[in-house]
Structure 1
């Protein structure tokens, strides 16, 4: 038998190797990521604070559009940096209880 040309039929194809590598990196990222995906945001109308909220960082603009469609009046907004959702929810609750904004009903007692 001639060993100059090894049998390469059973070797994985480069595209399969690349796909497996990408899948592995994605899985490791999900496993070790801290989940910093949620922002706290605040709405103001005529310089008066009217709402505290949270949403996923990648959909802040959509969330603001939803508020406008639902009749919340605001002319300014601000949001902070992304953090784990649990931390954002705790901060939102504290801010609502402290500031008692007009449009917040949850935690506003």
Structure 2
């Protein structure tokens, strides 16, 4: 199986299944710096990336935004001085799909 960041996202509809607990556990092993959080009742992947200054954090968020736009899958991004917080989840299903783990791995690759 290819590395998570090398896998392709699949089109996701509102009836797509969320990852199972077993799948989630296995996928999280590939993303040790990400955490599972629940916001507004939806499980999400979250990571805070740190930088030396605002400009570096901004450049990174722009790269994440370009990646997201290319895939048609958009995270929440919070840009602050010296850090960027990224949260991935699938809005259509109100939780986590394998695509979110793929995009988190791709985000790590940008960093």
Query: Which has the higher Rg, Structure 1 or Structure 2?
Result: 1
TM range (shorter): under 0.3
The TM-score normalised by the length of structure 2 is 0.23
Greater RCO, 1 or 2 (C-alpha within 8 Å, sep 6+): 2
